[in-house]
């Protein structure tokens, strides 16, 4: 008998109302064939940046030639995006998340799960781009990597601040061989996060062989008694 799980969706909705990073391409949809006209099916095409909504970045997002690389999102290993994960609450936070934010919650743990997700806000306004948001400091990345973490994620548009020109955190993550998720949404999480909570994460990027990022449908699985 298959074990029973509660499925907790931690993905942001994507629609024409969804805000995106300034200068990026928002979601749009075109109805290419309607059921009314064809009598059979509806068909659509859509356009959007792969960074709209909940997504994973590939190394080629910040380095290399997109046309001559083996580091696109479809070429990444899937292991970082599926497996045991810890959700840590630092909300409300609109600054760099440092190790000092989480030391009291994580130092006492003998071993961390290989995936750590951070809730920085209780509610997400999907139709508004928030310029003031939390991101990861490079010292936090180094500390987590030293403890065996292979993926981090957060509920904001980027692991770097909005005005960064060097994307130091992106490069720090890559230097440690880590993967990351952006634009998560923990607003439907009913678990008390006074202490970090453990789940099983599934957030697989699509096998897009020519892109620097991919949307993901991120969910947390919690075994039911």
Using CA atoms, how far apart are residues 213 and 42, in angstroms rounded to an integer?
28
Catalytic annotation, pick one of 51, 55, 61, 101? 61
Burial class (CB in 10 A: 0-12, 13-18, 19+), 102: buried
Q: 6 Cβ partners below 8 Å, 6+ apart? A: 221, 222, 223, 224
Residue 176: active-site member: no
Q: Do the beta carbons of residue 223 and residue 3 sit within 8 Å?
A: yes
Sign of CA dihedral 51, 57, 61, 62: positive
- Active-site residues, by number, are 61
């Amino acid at each position: 008998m298959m074990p029973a799980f509660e499925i907790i969706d931690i993905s942001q909705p994507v629609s024409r109302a969804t805000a995106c990073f300034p200068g990026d391409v928002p979601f749009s949809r075109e109805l290419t064939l309607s059921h009314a006209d064809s009598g059979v099916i509806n068909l659509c095409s859509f356009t959007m940046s792969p960074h709209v909504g909940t997504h994973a970045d590939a190394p080629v997002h910040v380095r290399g030639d997109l046309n001559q690389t083996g580091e696109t999102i479809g070429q990444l290993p899937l292991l970082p995006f599926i497996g045991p994960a810890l959700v840590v609450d630092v909300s409300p936070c609109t600054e760099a998340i440092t190790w000092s934010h989480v030391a009291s919650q994580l130092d006492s743990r003998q071993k961390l799960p290989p995936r750590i997700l951070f809730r920085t806000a209780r509610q997400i306004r999907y139709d508004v781009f928030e310029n003031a948001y939390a991101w990861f400091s490079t010292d936090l990345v180094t500390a987590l990597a030293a403890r065996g973490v292979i993926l981090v994620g957060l509920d904001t548009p980027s692991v770097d601040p909005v005005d960064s020109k060097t994307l130091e955190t992106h490069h720090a993550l890559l230097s440690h061989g880590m993967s990351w998720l952006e634009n998560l949404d923990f607003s439907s999480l009913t678990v008390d996060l006074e202490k970090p909570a453990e789940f099983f994460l599934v957030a697989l990027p699509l096998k897009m062989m020519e892109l620097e990022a991919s949307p993901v449908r991120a969910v947390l699985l919690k075994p039911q008694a």
